[in-house]
């Protein structure tokens, strides 16, 4: 009985995150963004994983330029016809795209007009993460942008202020 009460109180104080990632994997993703962007251009990729209840769990990273080798042109210009390759990889790995991530120059992690006009996955509820300063260090939730696509008519919601409540990064192994 007491354990049940403690669990109820804990779940209200610390709600279920919408996105979750093992800390080692998250640091590896950020390192990969740094390497691919070379400190001078945007880089990004698809965050692959599975859905458990209301939580999307990141299990791997698929860099944009691994699918479209010509997409990193200072900004990211991803060839939408390459999405068939993304879906094929997801099918082979038994996963789905749970979010996407890309870097921006400077300290801003706000969405640009281009970001808003061209969602990588134009599905309601899709999360797009934006890491500032070309991911020059290991950024944790609350230090980067989290944006949710609400549909063509409703646009985007900036959820960045929810940081750690929305996206949990910790050691799970």
The DSSP secondary structure of 91-150, one letter per residue, reads: HHHT-EEEEEEEE-SSS--SPPHHHHHS-SS-STT-EEEEESGGG-S---TTSSEEEEE-
* Domain boundaries along the sequence of the chain: 17-170
DSSP code at position 41:
S
Domain 17-170 fold is Cytidine Deaminase; domain 2 (3.40.140)
* Phi, psi angle pair for 16, to nearest 5°: -60, 130
pLDDT digit string (tens) for the chain, length 173 residues = 666 665 555 445 556 799 999 999 999 999 999 999 999 999 999 999 999 999 999 999 999 999 999 999 999 999 999 999 999 999 999 999 999 999 999 999 999 999 999 999 999 999 999 999 999 999 999 999 999 999 999 999 999 999 999 999 988 65
């Amino acid at each position: 009985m007491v354990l049940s009460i403690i669990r109820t109180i804990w779940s209200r104080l610390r709600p279920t995150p919408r996105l979750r990632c093992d800390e080692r994997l998250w640091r590896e993703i950020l390192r990969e963004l740094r390497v691919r962007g070379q400190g001078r251009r945007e880089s990004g990729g698809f965050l692959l994983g599975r859905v458990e209840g209301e939580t999307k769990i990141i299990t791997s990273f698929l860099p944009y330029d691994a699918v479209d080798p010509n997409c990193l042109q200072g900004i990211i210009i991803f060839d939408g016809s390459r999405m068939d390759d993304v879906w094929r990889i997801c099918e082979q790995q038994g996963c789905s795209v749970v979010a996407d991530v890309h870097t921006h120059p400077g300290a801003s992690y706000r969405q640009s007009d281009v970001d808003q006009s061209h969602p990588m996955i134009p599905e309601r509820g899709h999360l797009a993460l934006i890491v500032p300063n070309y991911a020059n260090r290991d950024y944790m939730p609350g230090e980067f942008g989290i944006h949710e696509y609400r549909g063509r008519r409703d646009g985007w919601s900036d959820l960045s202020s929810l940081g750690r409540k929305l996206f949990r990064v910790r050691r799970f192994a």
